[in-house]
């Protein structure tokens, strides 16, 4: 039997195993299985294994506990220790509205304007100078976008372009703008 460790992970794990035991057996009978639940019990065992793996991975996540300097220098000082999580680099892009997008387009001749909508949407109208790279083709066509130049992405309402901006930022593009409200809020000229 798996022994529960102290802390919230141990309590959660022991509660799950108690529940799984109760579901798979009849009350007041010693380990007598319910025929109808025998196939369900197999699924519950698989679920218990998955939970156990998640417990091991989640409760031993590699975080380091570092005591405060005051505690190291003066043991009589009682202060809680701090957990220092391992930092994950955050990809960054900037959301802009229609006015700021227009300003970027007009002022920066190196700006790459990328429309991540579908081809039929692009045919209905697009911002002049835009290049169509549908969102589902972005990763395979990323070589068409220069990492050393600023990029402004847009779609219809801002959802797909936010995803595209995140992908670009995580791929090393450092100057990425997302037209957050999309072409549906573009009050300026469009082309067909």
Question: Which residues are annotated as catalytic?
Answer: 155
Among the listed residues 1, 188, 32, the one whose alpha carbon sits nearest the alpha carbon of residue 113: 188
Tokens read off for 10: 């141990």
Secondary structure of the chain: what % helix, strand, coil (to 5)? 45, 15, 45
Residue length, the chain?
A: 192
Give the separation between CA 85 and CA 31, rounded to whole angstroms: 44
Q: Give ∠ CA 155-159-162 in degrees, rounded to 5.
A: 85
């Amino acid at each position: 039997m798996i022994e529960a460790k102290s802390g919230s992970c141990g309590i959660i794990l022991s509660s799950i195993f108690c529940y799984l035991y109760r579901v798979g057996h009849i009350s007041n009978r010693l380990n007598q299985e319910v025929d109808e639940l025998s196939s369900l019990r197999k699924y519950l065992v698989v679920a218990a294994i998955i939970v156990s793996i998640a417990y091991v991975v989640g409760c031993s996540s590699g975080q380091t506990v570092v005591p405060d300097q005051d505690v190291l220098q003066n043991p009589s000082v009682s202060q809680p220790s701090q957990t220092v999580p391992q930092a994950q680099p955050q990809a960054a892009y900037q959301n802009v509205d229609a006015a700021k997008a227009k300003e970027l387009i007009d002022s920066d001749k190196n700006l790459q304007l990328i429309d991540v909508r579908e081809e039929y949407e692009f045919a209905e109208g697009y911002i002049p100078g835009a290049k169509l790279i549908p969102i589902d083709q972005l990763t395979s066509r990323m070589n068409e976008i220069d990492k050393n130049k600023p990029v402004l992405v847009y779609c219809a309402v801002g959802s797909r372009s936010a995803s595209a901006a995140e992908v670009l930022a995580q791929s090393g593009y450092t100057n990425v703008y997302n037209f957050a409200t999309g072409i549906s809020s573009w009050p300026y000229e469009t082309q067909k």
